[in-house]
Structure 1
């Protein structure tokens, strides 16, 4: 009997040590970072910057897998079915993880229970952009044209519920105009059509390089201050259009049940890359405001954003048809 008790004690002690041992060896193989949006948009740019920096921090390959569709829900559904060992991570976004639960009757995941918040990354303001050859020089020109011909103008987005869609609906609400929404499968394809002149306008968080390159024109920034990347572009508030604050946020999440020791290790690697590595600079270069922090801080922010987006969705009347 005493031998049995000793054996059980050894087994229990070994089990208790498993998370620590796993954290010491983690990652012991390549890590997949699921980006639930197509290549070419802001989310993809953020995801690839994160993957490159974590590869340098871990000494193991971190690769991006774009799993787009249903406003980010398809990739997120696949993510929550992954093993909770830290070898599959998610680029969590305000669209998928804060807006979608209020836009879709069924997302295929619980916005809180199915995730382990790991690390916040950045917030990027939305910018109203038009083709470089557009006659619109200001948001007030857009408003005047929309009032003259209700429903004729069209704005694009990366899909129902993403930040570009909600920004467009918020603009319609505060300006009291009727503009048609054209959803795309990702912001990249929509932005391509703006650059090509096939789409008249859109709100976007990944347009800064194209604005600086002269491929599109920025009319206003949907933030409480101007962007240092485009300091000559005013905020909506400066132009007398009140209530136009819209941004996109990004973070790293793990599946529910991921060992705390692994979460802590990934969080430390992300924060290191943000503060002293290349990641902070790469994010700033695409117009992001870096937001480092602990897993608990990201969790509190995430829950607060779920509540904020619930109110925003109700205000704009945006829903999934």
Structure 2
């Protein structure tokens, strides 16, 4: 993954052309903005929210307060934001789960990921890391595959919950390679990562493993993106290792309630694009395997629709529906 500003981020900046001084001249915002994180502390969504909150506060001239509203695969916070006043003061960092996977997993979802939200922009694209701890006694993808074929009953894998990106990524690998693996869901990435390091679980495919890999408590077998990660340049992609056409990336984006005024959406889009263009912010995210995207609300809305279709197929493949 490249540290340089992506093409879509550049497009977003050129489309916005709104400076920090123009934010101050607007009637909005006039009070603190609440940024909902739909998961517990310790995961990528929490990291993204807390990393962006301070520079975004400076850009908008008002505090941006991060609030964790964890539970039910991100649906609790998403539902809360969907019902909030459409005034731009309550925002959501949604992700591949809340707006791509959950509509296909939950039959009684309390929000519509398209109708109930105004997309602001895509913040990230995050290739996942296939990591192992001490349980399996292997150190390479080739050794893992040999073990999976000779002793399929020995393979179990963690996820952050049923229908989460971690589960879908491994189920996709199963479909591509013919291996098996027992799914063990945890309540979030942090406890799943802890279980991996402790040897309670064999495999975990997740975007938060880079620090653990660098400190040596997790061994990275592969990354799931189309290109190697800048944070782990020596770790090959699954496609390099012979898993044909395997590409899977998580993502995050900023959403407001549907009906939020267009000028507020434009102001938010311009402010976040400006923050994402900061080289220091880019470096901080690249160091933990998070690629920044940016762009326009229209491009993000189209991307969410495309992802929903593709992820629906993976949910069906994994048998992860709760309908």
TM-score, with structure 2 as normaliser: 0.88
The equivalent of 2:291 in structure 1 is 289
Write the distance in 2 (CA, Å) between the matches of 1:231 and 1:255: 39
1:264 to partner: Cα distance: 0.4
The equivalent of 2:70 in structure 1 is 68
Matches within 5 A, 1:1-321: 24-131=26-133, 135-276=137-278, 278-320=280-322
Task: In structure 1, list runs of 5 or more residues that go unmatched.
Answer: 1-20
1:134 to partner: Cα distance: 5.1
Write the distance in 2 (CA, Å) between the matches of 1:231 and 1:277: 20
- Is the radius of gyration larger for structure 1 or structure 2? 1
1:223 to partner: Cα distance: 1.3
Task: In structure 2, list runs of 5 or more residues that go unmatched.
Answer: 1-22
Q: Note closer, same or farther for the CA distance 1:318–1:151 as it changes in structure 2 (3 Å cut).
A: farther
1:154 to partner: Cα distance: 1.5
RMSD of Structure 2 on Structure 1 (CA): 2.1
Write the distance in 2 (CA, Å) between the matches of 1:31 and 1:309: 31
1:148 to partner: Cα distance: 3.0
Range moving further from structure 2, 286-295 or 275-284: 275-284
Contact between 1:22 and 1:262, CA under 8 Å: does it hold in 2? no
Aligned length: 302
Contact between 1:169 and 1:318, CA under 8 Å: does it hold in 2? no
TM-score, with structure 1 as normaliser: 0.88
1:150 to partner: Cα distance: 3.2
Show CA shifts across 1:90-133 (max 9, x none): 00101111011111112211121001000111101011001167
What's the secondary structure of 1:92's corresponding residue? strand
> Greater RCO between the two (CA within 8 Å, min separation 6)?
2
1:278 to partner: Cα distance: 4.1
Contact between 2:230 and 2:286, CA under 8 Å: does it hold in 1? no
What's the secondary structure of 1:237's corresponding residue? coil
